[in-house]
């Protein structure tokens, strides 16, 4: 090697050349698909890129971020920290940090250039603005990876929140009124994001330099604050009344606050600024409200995957000896986890509902929501109670859906078999990809066009209900009746919420759309019976027992 | 096996087998080779035929038809080009629509006389039907109907594009005297909850047209020997959804009027 910089770049290439090849292949495939679709399009048809092209582009960009995951693992953590062995190189810390950051920026800009035509076809954003956002994304990504290493895999969720924030920033100039006011112009937003990216870069550099000097503390000096919060919220210092109470304290302290914190974070950095900027646009209020309500459910998916493991912050799926020797049965431990998930969900939704109340009652533009409420009121024979009831049902069903995402993978995570956990994650990714490829937004229209099309859906749901409840009867054998009673209450409340909301929606759909109302009602009832996990939670204690005795 | 959950699984399995088998039975009739969807329900000496407003499927009568089916035979259908019926030939004016309905009823073996119920634009169509087939009609219920001269914006929808012709046909249509003709004039609820200032202003503008509409309804009904005007302040234009019980009661009254006549 002629220089340390070349050596650093060569190392990135050497470690990730297969991934780079995959990025090139995806890009080539995406461009071919795009050319074929564009040439086969009728004159006057919409010029947007197809979902398949967008999906291939997304995969290429995601893989590129994988290439610049500039960390190395140590111990049981899957996502590591800045490679410590590089500290021995005869180069400054600034260069150690700058080389991967600049290489990442150059690569993502090159990739964007290759995808420029299909991704900028609608012409809503100027390419330089998108290029600034992409460069900033790479800087934030590396800053989070290097500076928050103690957060483990949760860094990916944090990056997800930042990526969503950047996406929202990218949307701001396109919102009405157009052209946007100066505060929402591409120049101002681009400058703001670039400034934040420079600050993040400087923070990363300072952190790496400190670590290199032997000071291994986090760049974000929140440790004293966290210690103070822990001290203040420690509660009674008396001995725990039961081993289950001690286990609850342990679980809550290690993972209970993660979902509420993430929900609060996205409200603070995404929803609040955006809702303020578009406060004069009634149509946007409704869209932002929907996005805010969906956020806990979406965030509960990655949090639920981490929560399903025996230890939230570790990539090791074996039960730690510390937990394995507790004087608690596996059912006790699972019951504690289910309770912690419920409280975590409640807190997350409490934060969300308080925010929504403050937002809508102060700076929210209520015109579109008012129309919706009046339409619901008129449809339900002028009943204000019905409108409030529907709003309460939406919140309740959202809470149960969040809690469901939190606990539904316990059975596979506690089993300790990586293949099972990865399999359940892959199933989520597959559903998302399939949804994009097959343009899932067109599914309702396709179903409505011919009622015979949802006949198979009702039979599939019927078979799934039979399989679920018989598996539940098997999985819950030998479990303490008190747990079954308590969980059945939870199941009943959740199922009743989904059923009530489903029937309310069905009641409206059957009046407005040409449907086979009876069959659609059957589908709604069967889906409500499938929504709350029963068999999977029943299987979790036996999974944990197996893993516990293996440890 | 856990006993309580085995019981639950047994019950829900029975439900899971029963539910997918439940389905609504629609009648398909062919008019000029084009398929039209119909929902026939209930039994009774009277046959009530419902005509939708612009663009809606037969499901718009979903709150009314099940109630009326308790005491009469009821027929809702998708006009050609609406809901799940195939497109019909142009122009889609009232006379063509009334003729197609007449053929569709014959195809489905639904014998006259009919009590015709029309909402909004459907009000014009049942008036034209009553003029074309006077012996087949035993009563009319017009639910906040469109009137000749109403300022409807022509759109891409073929029925609205043909509206000038439909207005002329409705104006020329003679309704046989002696049959009950009941007209529901929905003036809208004076005050609505959840309304913002902008929404209230919009409603106030729309309500300015109400007195003229009500006067026109009154004058039209006074010309009908068996006519009666029913005014409601408890519903907006979508009476079948907002105040279905009023529509049901009015149909009941029309059936009673038919018996009396």
This complex has an ipTM of 0.88
Contacts of B6 in chain A (CB under 8 A): 473
Residue A517 near residue B24 (C-beta atoms within 8 A): yes
B13/A477 Cβ within 8 A: no
Q: Are A537 and A338 in contact (CB under 8 A)?
A: yes
Phi, psi (degrees; rounded to nearest 5) at B208? -65, -25
What letter would DSSP give residue A257? Answer: T
Q: Could you tell me if B260 lies within 8 Å of chain A, comparing CB atoms?
A: no
In a domain, B73, yes or no: yes
Check if B190 contacts A (Cβ < 8 Å): no
Which chain A residues are closer than 8 Å to B37 by Cβ?
Answer: 514
Residue B158 covered by a domain: yes
Residue that the structure tokens 């829900």 belong to: B12
Three-state SS sequence of A437-492: HCCHHHHHHHHHHCHHHHHHHHHHHHHHHHHHHHHHHHHCCCCCHHHHHHHHHHHH
Q: Which of B19, B25, B27 to mutate to test the interface with A (most CBs of A within 10 A)?
A: B19
Say yes or no: B25 contacts chain A, CB-CB below 8 A.
no
Give contacts of A387 with chain B, Cβ < 8 Å. Answer: 193-194
Q: How far does A193 lie from chain B, in Å, by closest CA?
A: 36
Q: Give the whole-angstrom CA distance, residue A256 versus residue A252.
A: 4
Residue at B184 is within a domain: yes
Residue B234 sits at φ, ψ, to 5 deg, of: -105, 15
CB contact under 8 A, B57 and A513: yes
Q: Are B255 and B139 in contact (CB under 8 A)?
A: yes
Domain residues of chain A, as ranges? 1-225
Q: Which of B207, B257, B255, B260 is nearest to B45 (CA)?
A: B255
Residue B146 contacts A where some CB pair is shorter than 8 Å = no
Give the pLDDT of chain A (551 residues) as one tens digit per residue.
Answer: 678 888 888 888 888 889 999 999 999 999 998 888 887 776 666 667 777 788 888 889 989 998 888 887 655 445 678 888 888 888 899 999 999 999 999 999 999 999 988 888 777 788 999 999 999 999 999 999 888 877 777 788 788 888 888 988 888 888 777 778 888 888 999 999 999 999 999 999 999 999 888 876 655 555 566 667 666 666 556 788 888 999 999 899 888 988 999 999 889 988 998 888 888 888 888 999 999 999 999 999 989 988 998 888 777 788 888 888 888 899 999 999 999 999 999 999 999 999 999 999 998 889 989 999 999 999 998 999 999 999 999 999 999 999 999 999 999 889 888 888 788 778 887 887 777 767 777 777 787 778 778 788 899 999 999 999 999 999 999 888 999 999 999 999 999 999 999 999 999 999 988 888 888 899 999 999 999 999 999 999 999 998 888 75
Cβ density class A313-328: b for 16+ within 10 Å, e for less: bbbebbbeeebbebeb
CB contact under 8 A, A484 and B4: yes
Q: Is B18 a member of any domain?
A: no
Q: Does B23 touch chain A (CB under 8 A)?
A: yes
Which token pair is A442?
A: 């067109």
pLDDT given at position A74: 59
Rounded Cα distance, A196 and A334, in Å = 42
Q: Which of A335, A362, A351, A250 is nearest to A299 (CA)?
A: A351
Nearest to A333 by CA among A244, A241, A239: A244
Using CB atoms, pick whichever of A367, A455, A526 lies closest to residue B16. Answer: A526
Give the pLDDT score at A430: 81
| Dist. CA A327–CA A274, nearest whole Å | 50
Pick from A406, A393, A387: nearest CA to A343? A406
A354 CA to centre of own chain? 21
Alpha-carbon distance of B47 to B25, in angstroms, equals 18
Within a domain: residue B12? no
- If one counts the domains in chain B, the total is 1
A370/B195 touch (CB, cutoff 8 Å), yes or no: yes
Question: Can you give the residue range of the structural domain that contains B192?
Answer: 35-260
B184, with CB counted inside 10 A (0-12, 13-18, 19+), is buried
- Whether B19 and A458 lie within 8 Å, measured CB to CB: yes
How many angstroms separate the CA atoms of B106 and B127, rounded?
19
Q: Tell me: the pLDDT tens digits for B159-184?
A: 988 998 999 999 999 998 889 999 99
**DSSP per-residue string spanning A92-136:** -HHHHHHHHHHHHHHHHHHHHHHHHHHHTTT-SS-HHHHHHHHHH
Question: Could you tell me the pTM of the whole model?
Answer: 0.82
Any chain A CB within 8 A of the CB of B22?
yes
> Among A479, A488, A518, whose Cβ lies nearest the Cβ of B24?
A518
Q: Evaluate whether residue B202 is within a structural domain.
A: yes
- Are B1 and A474 a contacting pair at CB < 8 A? yes
Beta bridge partners of B40: B75
Which positions ≥6 away from A496 have C-beta within 8 Å? none
Q: Is residue B21 part of a domain?
A: no
At how many degrees (to 10) do helices A384-407 and A367-379 cross?
A: 110
Residue of B nearest to A535 (CA): B5
The CATH number of whichever domain residue B105 belongs to comes to 3.40.50.1820
């Amino acid at each position: 090697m002629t220089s340390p910089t070349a050596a650093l770049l060569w190392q990135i290439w050497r470690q990730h050349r297969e991934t780079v090849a995959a990025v090139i292949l995806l890009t080539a495939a995406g461009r071919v698909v795009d050319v074929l679709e564009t040439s086969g399009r009728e004159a006057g048809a919409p010029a947007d890129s197809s979902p398949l092209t967008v999906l291939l582009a997304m995969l290429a960009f995601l893989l590129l971020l994988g290439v610049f995951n500039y960390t190395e693992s140590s111990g049981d953590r899957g996502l590591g920290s800045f490679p410590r062995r590089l500290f021995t190189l005869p180069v400054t810390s600034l260069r150690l940090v700058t080389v991967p950051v600049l290489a990442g920026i150059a690569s993502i800009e090159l990739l964007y250039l290759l995808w420029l035509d299909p991704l900028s076809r609608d012409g809503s954003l100027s390419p330089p603005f998108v290029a600034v956002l992409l460069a900033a994304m790479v800087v934030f990504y590396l800053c989070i990876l290097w500076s928050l290493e103690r957060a483990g895999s949760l860094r990916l969720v944090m990056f997800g929140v930042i990526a969503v924030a950047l996406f929202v920033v990218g949307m701001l100039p396109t919102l009405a009124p157009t052209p946007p006011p100066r505060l929402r112009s591409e120049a101002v937003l681009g400058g703001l994001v670039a400034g934040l990216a420079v600050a993040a870069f400087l923070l990363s550099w300072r952190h790496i330099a400190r670590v290199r000097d032997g000071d291994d503390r986090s760049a974000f000096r929140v440790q004293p604050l966290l210690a103070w919060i822990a001290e203040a919220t420690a509660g009674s210092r008396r001995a725990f009344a039961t081993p289950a109470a001690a286990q609850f304290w342990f679980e809550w302290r290690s993972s209970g606050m993660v979902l509420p914190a993430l929900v609060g974070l996205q409200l603070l950095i995404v929803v609040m600024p955006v809702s303020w900027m578009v406060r004069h646009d009634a149509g946007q209020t409704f869209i932002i409200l929907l996005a805010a309500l969906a956020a806990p459910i979406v965030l509960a998916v990655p949090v639920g995957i981490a929560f399903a493991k025996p230890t939230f912050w570790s990539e090791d799926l074996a039960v730690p000896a510390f937990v394995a020797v507790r004087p608690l049965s596996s059912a006790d431990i699972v019951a504690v986890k289910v309770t912690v998930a419920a409280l975590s969900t409640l807190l997350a939704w409490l934060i969300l509902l308080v925010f929504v109340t403050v937002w809508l009652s102060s700076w929210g533009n209520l015109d579109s929501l008012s129309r919706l409420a009046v339409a619901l009121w008129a449809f339900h024979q002028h009943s204000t109670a019905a409108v409030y009831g529907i709003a309460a049902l939406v919140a309740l069903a959202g809470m149960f859906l969040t809690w469901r995402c939190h606990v539904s993978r316990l059975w596979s995570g506690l089993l300790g078999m990586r293949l099972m956990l990865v399999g359940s994650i892959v199933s989520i990714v597959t559903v998302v990809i399939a949804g994009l490829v097959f343009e899932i937004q067109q599914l309702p229209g396709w179903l409505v066009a011919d009622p015979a099309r949802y006949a198979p859906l009702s039979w599939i749901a019927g078979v799934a209900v039979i399989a679920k409840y018989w598996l539940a009867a098997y999985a819950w054998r030998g479990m303490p009746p008190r747990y079954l009673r308590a969980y059945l209450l939870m199941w009943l409340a959740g199922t009743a919420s989904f059923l009530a909301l489903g029937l309310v929606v069905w009641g409206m759909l059957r009046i407005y759309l040409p449907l086979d109302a009876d069959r659609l009602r059957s589908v709604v009832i069967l889906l409500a019976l499938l929504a709350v996990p029963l068999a999977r939670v029943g299987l979790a204690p036996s999974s944990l027992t197996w893993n516990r005795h293996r440890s | 096996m856990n006993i309580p959950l085995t019981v639950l699984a047994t019950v829900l399995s029975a439900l899971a087998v029963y539910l997918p088998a439940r389905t609504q039975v629609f009648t398909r009739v062919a008019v000029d080779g084009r398929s039209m969807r119909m929902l026939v329900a209930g039994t009774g000496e009277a046959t009530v035929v419902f005509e939708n407003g612009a663009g809606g499927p037969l499901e718009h009568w979903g709150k009314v038809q099940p109630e009326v089916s308790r005491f009469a035979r009821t027929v809702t259908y998708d006009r050609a080009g609406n809901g799940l019926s195939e497109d019909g030939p142009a122009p889609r004016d009232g006379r063509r629509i009334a003729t197609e309905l007449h053929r569709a009823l014959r195809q489905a073996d639904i014998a006259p006389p009919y009590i015709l119920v029309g909402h909004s634009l459907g009000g014009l169509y049942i008036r034209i039907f009553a003029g074309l087939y006077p012996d087949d009609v035993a009563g009319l219920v017009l639910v906040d109907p469109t009137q000749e001269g109403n300022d409807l914006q022509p759109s891409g929808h073929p029925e609205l594009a043909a509206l000038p012709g439909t207005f002329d046909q409705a104006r020329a249509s003679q309704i046989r005297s002696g049959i009950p003709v009941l007209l529901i004039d929905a003036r809208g609820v004076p005050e609505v909850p959840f309304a913002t200032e902008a929404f209230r202003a919009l409603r106030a503008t729309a309500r300015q047209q109400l007195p003229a509409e009500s006067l026109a309804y009154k004058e039209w009904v006074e010309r009908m020997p068996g006519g009666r005007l029913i005014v409601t302040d408890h519903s907006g234009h979508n009476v079948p959804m907002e105040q279905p019980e009023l529509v049901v009661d009015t149909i009941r009254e029309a059936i009673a009027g038919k018996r009396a006549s």
